[in-house]
């Protein structure tokens, strides 16, 4: 990719073709302000009953339900079976999707069914590797929720199994296939922000739900919850409902804020930049408020280094999470470059371009005589090589999805099912999934070991 050429192309289009970019752009003092619509075309068809993709859900908790709802929004998909270790969730599955749904506590029963073509794996993180590999070996296409793995080495096992079986496997970071990501990637490749220098990601929360303190149902007890199976290969501990229903709070089963939230940002960042990821991380933080037995921090700040590659300059990334944000909460994902910045979300991209100040102002001139100041101004005027096109191409453009946009979650499942039917390729395969998960897990490695950690983003190994 020739970044200088694409940058010049972007400037030319934005400056000379501003009117074409928007029906009614507003030109303000050499800058522009405009709103544009993103567009998405779906090539769908109706499927006969015997041509449906038969789906099984493994893990019918919060994310499993949202995943299944998105999946069933795609034409030609039918849910036939649900697995969960809590009886109440199986009852909820029938309530949502009908009494004909087959339910079980044993995921292996789903994998043995010949009428199931694909499965969603939406279990706690420490079960992702085993169930995904078992499903691939059973010939079932897999949609594995992020993070793909709980531990670094597990990812290579999934990659190996997927290559051996040649079965479709997609990682479920749902924003990956969104209109926002697609537009941000196009703009970056066009040179809209120049060379990247920084990524700023934050997620502030101010609720018990946001801090994973999920409600525990009153009927949960040893007879309705299969706690021993839930533990899996984790340390054996006495029956405890908090561990089962709030598993994200524990290192034994989850991956903390990094695996829950960082991994989404890495998926988007690596996609937009065509990057393999960072090579260094340094994390800090602490447990500041939600001292409910959890052993992961509720405030986390991590600095990442990205090395220079063929697709991007060397840059730094800042990831910060606060689960006790007194400001009420909010989040952001901002890619900052030498000539502008993009704020990216699933449904929206805001591009802001500014003119770099290269002429000395009053602050630096105050120490010189008026005559000297005038000479300096003339010297800078002669040296000023900023083109008129670059000067004019400043301002803000916002691209927004239309109101009827089905959303990134739908798009991700649409791509998954199209790949199963042989009509396309997935966006987030296991190799991509490990690069996103691995980068996120660096934060935990650094935080708990209190040191800088190094990572080879090509081989996906700790250094």
Kindly list the distances between the CA atom of residue 129 and the CA atoms of 62, 95, 118, in Å, as whole numbers in the listed order.
Answer: 20, 29, 16
Kindly list the distances between the CA atom of residue 425 and the CA atoms of 171, 305, 428, in Å, as whole numbers in the listed order.
Answer: 13, 30, 9
Residue 386 pLDDT: 57
Half-sphere exposure of 323 (CA within 13 A, CB side): 24
Give me the number of domains the chain comprises. Answer: 2
What tens digit of pLDDT does each residue of 383-434 get?
865 554 555 578 999 999 999 999 999 999 999 999 999 998 898 999 999 9
* CATH assignment of the domain containing 29: 3.30.360.10
DSSP 170-211: EEE-GGGGSHHHHHHHHHHHTTTT-SEEEEEEEEE--STTTT
Closest CA to 336 of 202, 200, 203: 200
- The proportion of the chain whose per-residue pLDDT surpasses 90, expressed as a percent, equals 82
Question: Are 11 and 59 contained in the same domain?
Answer: no
Residues 171-194, mean pLDDT to the nearest whole number: 94
Q: Is residue 114 scored above 90 in pLDDT?
A: yes
> Quick one: pLDDT band at residue 29, thresholds 50, 70, 90?
very low
What tens digit of pLDDT does each residue of 315-364 get?
999 999 999 999 999 999 999 999 999 999 999 999 999 888 888 888 99
Question: Are 266 and 334 contained in the same domain?
Answer: yes
pTM of the model: 0.91
| Residue 421 near residue 117 (C-beta atoms within 8 A) | no
The residue ranking higher by pLDDT, 33 or 330, is 330
Q: At what angle do helices 430-449 and 263-273 cross, to 10 degrees?
A: 130
Residue 417 is assigned to a structural domain of this protein: no
Residue 412 is assigned to a structural domain of this protein: no
Residue 194 is assigned to a structural domain of this protein: yes
Residue 39 pLDDT: 81
Q: List helix spans (H) across 276-407.
A: 362-365, 370-383, 388-392
Residue 411 is assigned to a structural domain of this protein: no
Question: Are 96 and 187 contained in the same domain?
Answer: no
Prior bond to 444 cis, omega within 30? no
**Range(s) of the domain holding residue 81:** 49-176
Question: Are 100 and 154 contained in the same domain?
Answer: yes
Closest CA to 89 of 67, 43, 57: 57
Residue 388 pLDDT: 47
What tens digit of pLDDT does each residue of 42-73 get?
777 888 888 999 999 999 999 999 999 999 99
What tens digit of pLDDT does each residue of 72-88 get?
999 999 999 999 999 99
Question: Are 255 and 120 contained in the same domain?
Answer: no
Question: Are 203 and 135 contained in the same domain?
Answer: no
- The proportion of the chain whose per-residue pLDDT surpasses 70, expressed as a percent, equals 91
Half-sphere exposure of 101 (CA within 13 A, CB side): 25
- What average pLDDT does the structure give for the chain? 92
Window from 33-37, 132-136, 281-285 with minimum mean pLDDT:
33-37
Question: Are 447 and 322 contained in the same domain?
Answer: yes
């Amino acid at each position: 990719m020739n970044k200088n050429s694409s940058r010049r192309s972007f400037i030319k289009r934005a400056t000379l073709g501003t009117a074409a970019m928007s029906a009614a752009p507003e030109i303000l003092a050499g800058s522009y302000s405009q709103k544009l619509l993103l567009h998405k075309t779906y090539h769908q068809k109706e499927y006969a009953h015997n041509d449906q993709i038969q789906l099984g859900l493994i893990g019918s908790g919060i994310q499993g339900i949202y995943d299944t709802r998105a999946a069933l929004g795609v034409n030609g998909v039918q849910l036939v079976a649900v697995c969960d270790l809590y009886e109440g969730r199986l009852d909820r599955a029938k309530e949502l999707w009908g009494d004909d749904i087959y339910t079980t506590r044993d995921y292996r029963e789903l994998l043995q069914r010949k009428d199931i073509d694909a499965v969603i794996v939406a279990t706690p993180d420490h079960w992702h590797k085993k169930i995904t590999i078992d499903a691939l070996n059973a010939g079932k296409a897999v949609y594995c929720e992020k993070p793909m793995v709980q531990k670094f080495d597990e990812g290579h096992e999934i990659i190996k199994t997927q290559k051996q079986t040649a079965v479709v496997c997609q990682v479920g970071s749902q924003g990956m296939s969104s209109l926002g990501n697609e537009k941000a990637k196009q703009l970056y490749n066009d040179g809209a922000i120049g060379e990247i220098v920084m990524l700023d990601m934050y997620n502030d929360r101010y609720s018990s739900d946001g801090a994973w303190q999920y409600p525990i149902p009153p009927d949960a007890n040893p007879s309705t919850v299969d706690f021993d199976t839930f533990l899996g290969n984790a340390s054996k501990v006495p029956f405890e409902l908090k561990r089962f229903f709030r598993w994200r709070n524990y290192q034994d089963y989850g991956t903390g804020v990094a695996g829950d939230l960082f991994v989404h940002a890495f998926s988007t960042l690596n996609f937009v930049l065509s990057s393999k990821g960072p090579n260094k991380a340094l994390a800090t933080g602490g447990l500041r408020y939600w001292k409910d037995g959890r052993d992961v921090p509720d405030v986390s700040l991590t600095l990442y280094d990205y090395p220079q590659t063929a697709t991007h300059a060397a840059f730094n990334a800042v990831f910060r999470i606060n689960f006790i944000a007194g400001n009420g909460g909010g989040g952001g994902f901002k890619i900052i470059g030498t000539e502008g910045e993009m704020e990216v979300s699933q449904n929206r991209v805001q591009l802001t371009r500014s003119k770099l100040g290269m002429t000395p102002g009053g602050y630096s001139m105050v120490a010189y005589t008026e005559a000297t100041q005038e000479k300096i101004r003339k010297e800078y005027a002669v040296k000023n090589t900023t083109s008129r096109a670059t000067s004019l191409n400043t301002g803000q453009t916002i691209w927004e999805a239309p109101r009827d946009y089905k959303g990134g979650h739908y798009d991700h499942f649409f791509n998954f099912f199209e790949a199963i039917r042989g009509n396309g390729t997935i966006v987030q395969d296991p190799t991509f999934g490990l690069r996103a998960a691995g980068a996120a897990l660096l934060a935990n490695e650094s935080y708990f070991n209190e040191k800088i950690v190094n990572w080879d983003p090509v081989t996906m190994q700790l250094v």
